[in-house]
Amino acid sequence: MSTDMNMEEIQEYAGNMLGHMVGAATVICSDLAHKLGFYGHLAGSGGMSAGDLSQAAGTNERLTRELLDQQASAGVLTYDAEVDTYALSDAGAMVMAEQHSPAWLAGGLGAVRAMYVGLDQVEAAFRGDGGVPWGDHHPCLFDGTLEFFRPCYEHHLVQEFIPALEGGEERIKSGAVVADVGCGAGLSTLTMAAAFPESTFVGIDFHGPSIEMAKAAAEEQGLSNVRFEVESATSYQGSYDLVCFFDCMHDMGDPVGIATHAKSQLGENGSVMLIEPFAFDSRQENHAGLGGAFYGFSSFFCTPCSLSQEVGRGMGAQAGEPGMRAVFDEAGYGNFQRISETPTNIVYEAFA
């Protein structure tokens, strides 16, 4: 180590790291507050004391105050010392309390918790063959992933992404048959099925527990035009007007083989629709913005999942348009195009 050290530079670096530590602690504390129902009680209340909140939530008052002080110190809540109350702003309620808000984030915190829970097995993967099957992670990952994607699917899928398809929503509005491959707990499938009751939707995933969650949700919503099947991405059969891969293609071991199989299951004039995490064309560009989150999730979940499967292409969550285009070129598609995007996602359509 050099003896001629720039202490100002060291302190700046350490301050940056300490900021990340505060953020990490805040994520876990916020996930706990969400699980305890604190945000729901605080939303619209105008402020509550620790005692009142603990009584409403059925929690220990001393621990409740400690957690509330953490949330206040991190700016998640505001504290009024004169009346000794903690408040969640209206804007904060849209992010932390309102599940169907376009800004909803609290439910997705469970996916971050899964990173902490699964640290040892991911460390072992780094020291071994790199593979961790999706189903080997803690169940909080499956719930957290569902909620993380909820704003996108509830507020963009039907309203923006499907109309951007060639032929627009008319293609699947009446009598279409749509496969949602890698559907997970089925939120995307159910969202489309509810919007287009005259068409048929099939949710497909290799993870049995997620399919059970999807079936339960379909029954609860009373949707009769949707079904869910435990299948791999290369074993399902049918003739589909649209085959969807939503935030999952980069997780798959053999995306070229999977895209090739999808092509064989398309009906006349059918196409493949992909939703992928937003990414620029180079790793350097992706180091800014949300890259820290996407590369983090990819290090723990996406890439290990791919490496645990046959071929193990290991695309990662930041493969971007060049990576996805290469997959569909190799699979023999004649047309691949970006059709829509948000700050967090890119949407593609591919024709055979």
Q: In whole angstroms, what is the distance from residue 34 CA to residue 17 CA?
A: 26
Asked if residue 27 belongs to a domain, the reply is: yes
Q: Are residues 177 and 85 in the same domain?
A: no
Query: Are 210 and 291 members of one domain?
Result: yes
Say how far apart CA 266 and CA 283 lie, in whole Å. Answer: 33
For residue 220, what are the domain limits?
Answer: 152-351
Please indicate, yes or no, whether residues 183 and 83 belong to a single structural domain of this protein. no
- Domain C-terminal end among 69, 95, 121: 95
Q: How many helices (H) and strands (E) does the chain have?
A: 16, 9
The answer to whether residues 172 and 75 belong to one domain is no
How distant is the alpha carbon of residue 58 from its chain centre?
30
Q: Which of 57, 79, 95 lies at the terminal end of a domain, its last residue?
A: 95
* Residues 73, 70: Cα–Cα separation, whole Å: 5
Q: Would residue 14 count as lying in a domain?
A: yes
Task: Give dist(CA 229, CA 147) in Å, integer.
Answer: 21
117 within a domain of the structure (yes/no): no
What does the longest C-alpha to C-alpha distance in the chain come to?
A: 74
173 three-state secondary structure: helix
C-alpha dist (Å) from residue 8 to 2, 13, 14, 15, 56: 15, 9, 10, 10, 48
pLDDT at 20: 96
**190 and 53 assigned to the same domain:** no
pTM of the shown model: 0.94
Shortest CA distance to 156 belongs to which of 217, 243, 246?
246
Same domain assignment for residues 162 and 58: no
Extract long-range pairs of 203-207: CB within 8 Å, 24+ residues apart. Answer: 203/227, 203/228, 203/229, 204/179, 204/180, 204/228, 204/229, 204/231, 204/233, 204/236, 205/181, 205/230, 205/231, 206/230, 206/231, 206/232, 206/233, 207/134, 207/135, 207/142
For residue 205, give the CATH number of its domain: 3.40.50.150
Residue type, 11: Q
- Please check whether residues 173 and 88 belong to one and the same domain: no
272 and 163, same structural domain? Answer: yes
State the total domains in the chain. Answer: 2
Report yes or no on 241 lying in a domain: yes
User: Minimal CA–CA distance to 272: which of 195, 166, 169, 197?
Assistant: 166
291 inside domain: yes
Provide the CATH number for the domain around residue 78: 1.10.10.10
**Per-position pLDDT tens, the chain of length 352:** 556 789 999 999 999 999 999 999 999 999 999 999 999 999 999 999 999 999 999 999 999 999 999 999 999 999 999 999 999 999 999 999 999 999 999 999 999 999 999 999 999 999 999 999 999 999 999 999 999 999 999 999 999 999 999 999 999 999 999 999 999 999 999 999 999 999 999 999 999 999 999 999 999 999 999 999 999 999 999 999 999 999 999 999 999 999 999 999 999 999 999 999 999 999 999 999 899 999 999 999 999 999 999 999 999 999 999 999 999 999 999 999 999 999 999 999 999 9
345/196 same-domain check = yes
232 and 299 fall within a common domain: yes
Domain boundary among 78, 95, 112: 95
| Closest among 287, 270, 345, 303 to 134, alpha carbons compared | 303
- The verdict on 178 and 254 lying in the same domain is yes
